[in-house]
Amino acid sequence: MKKNIIITSGPTNERIDSVMKITNMSTGALGNVLAETLLQDKGDEIETIYYVSTKMSYKPRIASDKVVCVTVESTEDLIEALREIFAIKKIDIIIHSAAVGDYAGKYVIRAEELVDEIWDLVQSAERSEDITKERLMGIFENPRSICNNDTKISSYEPHLMTMLTLTPKVISMIKTMAPDVTLVGFKLLDGVSKDELYQVASKLREKNRADYIVANDLSKIGGGKHWAMILGEEGIIMECNTKKEIAEALEKILF
């Protein structure tokens, strides 16, 4: 039976206002190589590849009616896209290579307004004990005056501040949405030992019920090289040195 596959790729973008965004350095190049390799080598065994990425990410250059490109912007968009795909199609494999941002903007505020609110608390306190960490944190969590970020914030604000909040962990939701899917996750660290990367990736695999994790080290990516190790239940399955090798290794594992 032909397989239905989801490949998530590239960064997510989290809006600060109508033009400013928080994003990361991912380009979607690895996801693109994965999709193209599977289409070239295993096209006869594939029904559909849902390629989920942001607008500016690399897209498969191979013309094929087997590829459905789904454009997303934010982490929430990505989650909703996955829910919609899982609802309409039995997915066999998801290769979750997207670099989902860790943080999104919660609100934008002028420093002067935040200082005014803290100052009001100080002035209204009858005793120093009334100025508690909890009350101060309450101001930071939910200040009275924030900037309207539905439009473009002025370019002339000298003390603009953005409060960040954690984004949902997409990988932790996948097996809940599709318990039987074969899940390939990715973990990226920077300049760590192989053992540390292995330990972190192994914990990620177990925690999120992933079948495989592709563990990368940013310090070993560049100049045409992309070292990674692929982990499964029994430990390290394979080590790779380029994006193409990663794609070919996953192809052997998954087909």
Q: pLDDT for 57-87, tens place per residue?
A: 999 998 899 999 999 999 999 999 999 999 9
**Structure confidence by residue, pLDDT tens digits, 37-65:** 999 999 999 999 999 999 999 999 988 99
- Residues 22 and 148 occupy one common structural domain: no
Q: Rounded to whole angstroms, what are the CA distances from 127 to 115, 132, 250?
A: 20, 10, 64
Is residue 149 very low, low, confident or very high in pLDDT (cuts 50, 70, 90)? confident
Q: What is the pLDDT of residue 255?
A: 96
124 and 47 together in one domain: no
Looking at 133, 165, 197, which one is the last position of a domain? 165
Give the domain range for residue 154. Answer: 105-165
Domain identity same for 97 and 202? yes
Alpha carbons 105 and 109: distance in angstroms, whole number? 11
Residue 64 confidence (pLDDT): 92
Last residue of a domain, one of 130, 147, 165: 165
Structural domain count of the chain: 2
Q: What rounded mean pLDDT belongs to the chain?
A: 96
Residue 194 confidence (pLDDT): 97
Between CA 230 and CA 200 the distance in angstroms is 13
Specify the 3-state DSSP secondary structure of 78: helix
Query: Do 217 and 179 share a structural domain?
Result: yes
The answer on 232 and 109 residing in a single domain is no
Residue 28, domain CATH: 3.40.50.10300
Phi, psi of 107 (to 5 degrees): -160, 165
Say whether both 98 and 187 belong to one domain.
yes
Question: Does residue 187 sit in the same domain as residue 84?
Answer: yes
Check whether residue 210 and residue 91 sit in a common domain: yes
Please give the Cα distance from 253 to 35 (Å, whole number): 15
Please indicate, yes or no, whether residues 77 and 180 belong to a single structural domain of this protein: yes
Cα–Cα dist 59/37, whole Å: 13
| For range 104-131, the mean pLDDT | 93
Query: Contact 185/210 with Cβ under 8 angstroms?
Result: yes
What is the reported pTM? Answer: 0.93
